[in-house]
Each structure stands twice: as C-alpha cells, then as structure tokens.
Structure 1
Amino acid sequence: MRNIKRIIIPVLIVLSIFAVNVSCSNDEEIVLNPTEASDETPDSDGDLGTTGDAEGSEGEITLYKVTGDEISKIQDYKVTGKDLEYQKDVAKHQEIWSLVKKIVPVEQLKKMSEFLIYNGEVTGSAGFVIEIKRDLSDWKMGIAINYAYEGGFNAGGELAYTIIHEFGHVLTLNNTQLDAAVTQENCKNYFPGEGCAFEKSYINELHSKFWNDIWSEYQEATKDESAQQKFYDKYKERYVTQYASTNPGEDIAEVFATFTTLKEKPEGKTIAEKKILLMYNRDELVNFRNHIRKNLALRKKGDAVTFELPQPGAWKQANSFGNPHKTKCRRH
C-alpha cells in the first residue's frame, strides 16, 4: 500500500502541474518575472542585459526594465532574420517608448516595471499587458514593433490608441482595483479573472450598472462567435465598439480609450455614452485624460490639424471580437 502511495502522489503532482500549464496556455498564460531568472551582463550599449541566449515562444525580441520614465535592457532574445533587424534598431524601441511616456504619466508608470518589444505576427496582436506580480501591483507592457511601424510610425494614431487601450487594463485591473487574494467563489463583486473587484472599483461599477442585467445572456453568447454577434447586435447601443462587447475587461478599456479620444463630453443618451460619463466622475481618470490630450496636442481649437488618433470606433480592431474567456494575458 505504501509503495502504491509513493507512486500515486508524484503522478498526481505531475498531472496537476500539467493541468495548470494547459489552462494557462496561449492567451491565458501566467508569465513569471523574467528578471528573476536572467543572467545580466553589460551589453554593447552599456545597458545591463543578457547575451541573447534566451529563446522566446511568442515573438519576443527585447525586454526592458522600466525605472521612472526610462528603460534599460534586461535581455535580448535569440532571434534571426527580420526579428534580428528589429532587435538591432534600438532607436525604434526608444521611439515607441517615447510615445508610451507621452501617454502614461510618470506616477502611473510606477505600476509597470517591464516593457517588451516583440513581433506581433506570432500572436496576431499589436500590444498586450500582463501582471508580473500575483498581487497585481506590478505589470509588463508589450508592443509589437512590426505593427507600430505598419504604414509608418504610429500611422493613423493606431499605436497611440493601442497604448491607451492597453494601459486602460492596467488602470482598471491593478491592486488598487482588485484583490487577487480573493477567489471567485468568495468574491461578492465582479470577478474578471485576475482577482475580485473592490466594491467601488471602476470595473465593478461598470459591471453592476451596465452588465449585470444581461449577464446570463452574455454568458450564453460566449459559446461561439455567432452567438457573440447576435448578442452585440441586440445590445450595440450599450457599447462604444463591437470589441467592447467581448467582456467587461475589454469594455472598460475601450470606454477609457474612447473617453480619451472624444473631444466633447457626451450627453449620455445611450448606455455607451453613460459608461463614458462614469469616467468623468473619477478625478484620476479625468487627470489621465487631460495629460494624454495635452501631451498629444489633442486640445485643438477649431479644425486645426494636430496629433492624430483614430476616430471613436475606428480603431482597426473596433469591429472585431476578442476572446471572451481571456483573463490573465490580454493580447490584441
């Protein structure tokens, strides 16, 4: 009997690890902090970084550490061909980061300690964010360099919009908004996957006011894209974009991006507009909006041509659906 137990216990452990890895694969992947495992050595630019021996599985090119509003290299991934060209073009990395700095205030950058340059062709994504620490106090942002320069740097304002959308996730899913220690079973508020939303959090307010009454219909609609389309067609006046109907997490990120993009405060005639008005009730979000619009010269007068962002609802992925079951790693 003891021998059987000795065999069964290790097998169960292996199976449990395998189950976790399967459930967290691809878009659900929980990424551990790579700085804990890297061997840092000075590179040719004087930054601390690895020698490029690490191989990424999702198009990773170069990983940076964020300190204040500056980035320093942690490691170059082992790449070839076009990705090697991207890796060597550090000026483009810095140009992308400069745009991130224009959009995200320094005090908000404290929520993010890593920045990844990657090739988005592998995942079909233009950007993503993911928590580094399980308590949601520290985040990593990734930007796909190939999409950042598609048609020219930040063509049509697509990159800027993507950065705003992605940081919208950090803003609404960090440790001031969610309690990662509370499980779904013990959560009395909305549970987006990363943790239990605090009662007065942005996403809990959005969910309780504008999702709760249609939640059972939404859950049925997550079965396939055809059902998602029917759900959106029925409730489209509730959403700033089709992509926002994917789940409350994408909804609030799209609402934040639209809140920032719109020149005028909406009247609140639709539920979609009422969601935007919720953001005007939060000083932190209003200050963030003002910072972005000032730094990108969006506070224009008349028809003067200034910095370009996609018109509300005109983002390239605005008329698509994301993965409704996606929680941990939000890739777009």
Structure 2
Amino acid sequence: MKNIKRIFIFLFVCLSIFAVNVSCSNDDKIVPPTDSTDTSGSDGDTDSTNGQVEGSEGEITLYKVNGDDISKVQDYKVKDKDLEYQKDVAKHKEIWELVKKIVPADQRKKMGEFLIYNGEVTGSAGFVIEIKKDLSVWQMGIAINYAYEGGFNAGGELAYTIIHEFGHVLTLDNTQLDAAVTQENCKNYFPGEGCALENSYINELHAKYWNDIWSEYQDAKKDEAAQAQFYEKYKERYVTQYASTNPGEDIAEVFATFTTQKDKPEGKTIAEKKILLMYNRSELVAFRDHIRKNLALRGKGNALAFELPQPGMWKQANTFGNPHKTKCRRH
C-alpha cells in the first residue's frame, strides 16, 4: 500500500511539472512547427479546414517572411469572424506593408515569421517571440482586430505597436544577448531570453537607471498595488507607466518614444536621459530617421504627415504589464 502511495505521489509531481512546462511554452510560442503545409489556394482564400490546426490563442494565418514579401505557411482552423479575417488577405498585406515601412530591410532579416491573429483571446495588440534559440530569428504577431479598430491604424496605434514590438527584437536579439549563458552564469542583466552583453542597450539601461532601485522593484512585483506605489515614487524615471513593468518593456517604450518624439530632450529627468542613451547610438538614430522619413513624420506646414500617438499617450501607456513575464512580449 505504501508503495502504491509513493507511486501515486511521484506521478502527481511529474504531471504537475509537465502542466507548468506546457503552460509556459504556450505563453512563449504559439506557432506550429514551421514545416506545416499550406492548406489553401495561392490567393489565400480557403474553403476547407481539412488538415488545419486549431490555435489556442486566436491564431488566424501564419506567414513566412522572405525579405520584402510574406508567403503563407498555413491557415489555422477558424470560424465566424475569424474566418472573415482569414479570407481578407488584403488586410493581412496592408498590415505587412506598414511593417515594411517601419522596419528597414536589413533589420527585417531578423523576422522569420509573421502571424495574423485575433487579439481578443489574449487581450493583446501585438507580440514578438524568438523562433530560434540563439535569438537570431523572431516571429512578429499583429492582432488584426486591433489593427482595424476604428479604421486601419486609427490614431497611429498600429504603427506605434509595430515600433514598440520591434523595439523588443532590436534590444533582445543575438547582437544584444547571449542565449547560451544561463542566469546563474550571467554577470550582466538577464532579461529572460539570455544574458545581456556588456555593451548592449538593455544592459546599459539597467546598470544606469534600474540597478540602484532593483531591490525595491523586486518587492513591487508582488501585486499591482505595490507596482503602483513603485511607479508613483519613481515616475520621473519612466516615459510611460507601462515602461515601469520591467526593463524589457522600459527599453521598448523608450525606443518608441525616442522615435515618435520630434525634439531631442534636454535630459532633465531620468526618463529623458534614457532617451538620450539612444541618441548616443548612431545605428539607433539611423533607425529613427528611417521610420520618421517613411512615415512622413517630417512633414512641414500643412503637409499631411503620418499620425502617431503623442509620446506617452498610446492606449496602454497608463497600464501595467505582467512584470513576471519576460519571454512572452505581448501588448
């Protein structure tokens, strides 16, 4: 009888560990293996769900990125409104065209996959996640329902989302982190995906403007009330409330503000000093100039300029993200 109880306890522990691992992997990666086959015609429309995978987090259509172009990997098994979204390939392409305007060709090499999904399931507008363990290739997901909320890119929210999300790729890829180094062996900041290199953007940000309040931040992660108190105490350090979620969200928000804010700040606050860190990097200034030129943000006089939210005014600016999630970048 004792042996049976021991076996039962052992099996229970194993199943519990397995359940936790499955939950984490579902958060971190929502795409099927990339050898999935296309089950629709070349025009993107589908009349059959034979062989299709049913996603668990609003997945609609997965594309492979080939430079300027995207080619379908697969349609997910969907119905009702999501089926309408799936068949409206013109909208998929319109979203991708905006991604191309924002992300330069040399940077798009880091994007291996592009996912169209319905953000109602996860409450997110976009995300990025690594699809190679070495952090060299990433998937970007854009929620089609949010992309067209109030009309395509209403208020510039979609463009801001793309800028913010690619800010994660820019600051967490294999040029910035070493995925082979574990947290235990990391001498610099460890954002979750890997160990930050000494001269990386996020390591500089953390060392200069997070390290001195790190123990307070760790305590504040316990609940949203504590997060709110932490933010109120240190709000001059952050470009938005959302940036105080963790250093990964902070640097993505700093990059988005650096891009959307017309004038170079004076550096009167720590939030402004974080932006100035990016002005010190010529490659980031070139990226900023590319975006502002392609989105006509340099418009003069009565010239029609592309609309973006005012710095710090995007829809989720005054919310908190989940500080415990590092590897799942959903917004």
Give the TM bin, normalised by the shorter chain.
over 0.9
How far off its partner does 1:43 sit?
A: 1.9
Identical amino acids, percent of aligned pairs: 80
Distance 1:51 1:256 in 2: 43
How far off its partner does 1:21 sit?
A: 2.0
Distance 2:218 2:225 in 1: 13
Distance 2:44 2:213 in 1: 55
How far off its partner does 1:51 sit?
A: 5.4
SS of 1:237's equivalent in the other structure is helix
Q: Is the 8 A contact 1:33 1:132 kept in 2?
A: no
Q: Is the 8 A contact 2:202 2:248 kept in 1?
A: yes
Q: Which residue of 1 aligns with 2:19?
A: 18
Superposition map of 1:146-185 within 5 A: 146-185=145-184
Instruction: Tell me the amino acid that sits aligned with residue 174 of structure 1.
Output: D
Q: Is the 8 A contact 2:128 2:330 kept in 1?
A: yes
How far off its partner does 1:250 sit?
A: 0.3
Q: Which residue of 2 aligns with 1:318?
A: 317
Instruction: Tell me the amino acid that sits aligned with residue 22 of structure 2.
Output: N
Higher relative contact order (CA 8 A, sep 6+): 1
Superposition map of 1:1-332 within 5 A: 11=11, 16-22=17-23, 24=24, 29-31=27-29, 34-40=32-38, 43-45=41-43, 53-302=52-301, 304-332=303-331
Superimposed CA distance per residue, residues 140-182 of structure 1 (whole angstroms, 9 cap, x where no aligned partner): 0000000000011000000000000000000001011111111
RMSD: 2.4
Q: Give the TM-score normalised by the residue count of structure 1.
A: 0.92
CA 1:172–1:317: 2 relative to 1, 3 Å:
same
How far off its partner does 1:251 sit?
A: 0.2
Distance 1:185 1:92 in 2: 45
Q: Is the 8 A contact 2:39 2:52 kept in 1?
A: no
How many corresponding residue pairs? 326
Instruction: Tell me the amino acid that sits aligned with residue 329 of structure 2.
Output: R
**What residue ranges of structure 2 are gaps of 5+ in the alignment?**
none
Distance 1:181 1:25 in 2: 19
Q: Is the 8 A contact 1:33 1:133 kept in 2?
A: no
SS of 2:61's equivalent in the other structure is strand
SS of 1:320's equivalent in the other structure is coil
Instruction: Tell me the amino acid that sits aligned with residue 182 of structure 1.
Output: V
How far off its partner does 1:41 sit?
A: 5.1
Q: Is the 8 A contact 2:189 2:196 kept in 1?
A: yes
CA 1:51–1:161: 2 relative to 1, 3 Å:
farther
Q: Is the 8 A contact 2:30 2:57 kept in 1?
A: no
How far off its partner does 1:199 sit?
A: 0.6
Distance 1:305 1:45 in 2: 34
Instruction: Tell me the amino acid that sits aligned with residue 130 of structure 1.
Output: I
Instruction: Tell me the amino acid that sits aligned with residue 207 of structure 1.
Output: H
Distance 1:233 1:14 in 2: 42
Q: Is the 8 A contact 2:52 2:76 kept in 1?
A: yes
CA 1:136–1:321: 2 relative to 1, 3 Å:
same
Distance 1:157 1:186 in 2: 42
Higher mean C-alpha deviation, range 101-110 or range 35-44: 35-44
Q: Give the TM-score normalised by the residue count of structure 2.
A: 0.92
How far off its partner does 1:301 sit?
A: 2.5
Distance 1:39 1:68 in 2: 20
How far off its partner does 1:85 sit?
A: 0.5
